[in-house]
A and B are shown apart, each in its own frame.
Chain A
């Protein structure tokens, strides 16, 4: 499908071309002499590890950053992109991962925000026209919904559709999408892919940033790989293998086998959840985790996986059922769970896992304060020593323990979140999407770390949307569907097909 059209022949002039773009921040060269061309009606995949320069390139494209050096050409003519308005005039629109919709306005109002059609009386808005226009735009992208629906009521996938409709209504010819499938279910992903095909046919070009190899080959007409702010190569999907791409991204050979030494016999029972229900929508959850085990918790996004994790940790109130940890029935707030030895590595490390403005050291010791300083007196130097040891042990790439944690890369931030529970001496580690937004090298390291933890007698409950990960790493797994446990898979039964089959809605 990707080699159907020889693009250079049909359209020799790129819709947009960037030549020699550089962008520097204090201490970091974010983009270094990057050239990049988008042809009409193509899907151009942008690949690279975290920190490779994808986001910076995207921000230069949409005018949010001003390039320090380099030139822009639009259909062969030299242009300037020095503001978002410039980019908009050239028909460039970005669908960010975090949407910019106003939640309490309706779809139509969001699409025409700031450029509403004027009504007859000055200062008013022509409500009928705005609804009709919105409906027409929604129709062009095949999204069948009432445009007067309040955005707040929409799911992630639908909000994304509204973002796309908004871009199309602004006559966007180049859509930049930042990991658009990161929060979508499989079915929603299919719908998005269908829409992308439709936009392509209309001649819209798409710059698509992705971490998922399968998408790159399913969608891409062309691939540009960035590494350390430089353009490494531009290739076509037909000419490369996934392994070659990974090598280009990482700059070395990466062993993407999953490090795991399965124990012959699991240890004693550590966590037993009986008939657990919570107001967050989970009911009658029964789970067992033994020492030395990594137990998977899978299912679709929204099936209640995170809610189970939060209920066990005490972050959400439990309505009925029992949690038995290390032989004792437990209940209460997260501080009690943490003190007993339960650790939660939450899904969103930036908003739930870290104090981004505080130092690596502050974040590493925060859960272990009571253990490290039983007298209650805090000693900065001793905290720093503990942190230095963890930084070495986890190989956290940071210039010092005093570095602000928000400045680290995603993988290293995740190691800090795990590190704070190592310092606390936790026995059960609940991981919620531990590898989301993390580059391949760091993923391997994190799995090796989890393996070492359970080998030393701890236990892990791991939520992941990457079924490959669950299959390779877990001793066994529970599959959730609509707030309940839909099934249990032993090591031998643990295949992607089985996970999908149990997790699917049978409506």
Chain B
């Protein structure tokens, strides 16, 4: 074949190895930030601070991990923060009314999951572009939560329940264990199951995926439901850690979660990215904010710095990817 010579000359490339390279660079960046902070601040390397960073990162990661799957399909879920707020308020009410934390947890997860499923229905059955559907959902959820709470604050939960967010086990905060568990589950699901493979295929080319026999609508429903359920999980951690719930707790959660996904190397165009990358993204985000706190930099600078990191990370990704083609 005359073609062979030409094709063989092109160096072999694959996105698997490139995923690995991306994750490697991100780990390096995270370590670099740690090194700089360790030099600049005496308290950074204290056990208390490191555990604090991990606990904060875990909350962002729970929301961002589900979101990663959505973004892998070239979609977006803007309703995660509002979903956390509604789920937390409903779960809190159930615990107050019944006195059963288990029932409250289940309600919170279910509420998050149902919201996610509704998002999925809008995207698949009604064919509304995901960022519009979930943007609308954001307002609907906010409206429901404000109406439901009517300005009230839920406060004071059983001590056992509060352990989930603020307790320790063998010296590590419980959310850190949950972080490791869901990091493992998320990575296994995305890389080592056929559903994960199908999600990557859908993101890479939805038309080809459908014509290759992948049940695209079912997988999208799954992905949005998972994203909603993870928001439900985050709401439980949130509720238990703050020991209170208000209608506006979700407002500062969505954008950092998207930032973690993007810093983690998942492409908004779909098909490229990893859950582990998102974990490092959440870590980098938290480290930078933590460092700024330790160095007494005014909190007013934090959004600016976050924005620059997101743009930098995405720009570097696109540069390396363009070179690979």
Contact = CB atoms under 8 A, between A and B. Distances in A.
Interface of A: 26-28, 49-51, 227-228, 250-251, 313, 315, 333-335, 337-339, 344, 346, 351-359, 362, 365-367, 369-370, 373, 376-380, 395, 397-400, 402-404, 406-409, 411-412, 420, 424, 439, 441-442
Contact of B211 (A228, A346, A357, A373): A346
A344 B7 contact: no
A339 B213 contact: yes
Interface stretch (B136-144, B200-208, B251-259): B200-208
A334 B14 contact: no
B14 to A, nearest CB: 4
B2 to A, nearest CB: 6
B181 interface: no
B1 A376 contact: no
Interface in B196-255: 196-198, 200-201, 204-205, 207-217
A339 B215 CA distance: 11
Interface in B84-137: none
B319 interface: no
Nearest to A49: B2
Contact of B201 (A51, A358, A402): A358
A315 B211 contact: yes
5 contacts: A51-B3, A334-B211, A377-B192, A380-B16, A420-B212
B197 A376 contact: no
Given A362-B197, A376-B195, A356 B16 contact: no
Nearest to A335: B215
B213 A400 contact: no
A392 to B, nearest CB: 13
Contacts of A228: 2, 5-6
Given A376-B195, A402-B16, A407-B10, 6 more contacts: A28-B9, A315-B211, A359-B14, A378-B193, A402-B12, A402-B14
B210 A315 contact: yes
B271 interface: yes
Contact of B12 (A357, A369, A403): A403
Contact of B3 (A335, A354, A409): A409
Describe B's contact surface by its main secondary structure.
Answer: helix
B213 A334 contact: yes
Contacts of B211: 313, 315, 334, 344, 346, 352-353
B191 interface: yes
Q: Using C-beta atoms within 8 Å of the partner chain, give the interface range for chain B.
A: 35 or more
Contact of A400 (B3, B12, B197): B12
B8 interface: yes
A412 B16 CA distance: 21
A367 B212 contact: yes
Contacts of B271: 355, 357-358
B205 A354 contact: yes
Contact of A351 (B8, B194, B208): B208
Contacts of B3: 49-51, 397, 409, 411-412, 439, 442
B209 A366 contact: yes
Given A409-B7, A412-B3, A338 B194 contact: no
A333 B271 CA distance: 22
A315 B209 CA distance: 12
B204 A357 contact: yes
Contact of B212 (A227, A366, A398, A400): A366
Given A337-B213, A402-B17, A397 B4 contact: yes
CB-CB nearest 6 A-B residue pairs:
A338-B213, A355-B204, A402-B14, A369-B194, A335-B215, A27-B10
A358 to B, nearest CB: 5
Contact of B197 (A351, A378, A406, A420): A378
A313 B210 CA distance: 11
B1 A397 contact: yes
B201 A227 contact: no
A51 to B, nearest CB: 6
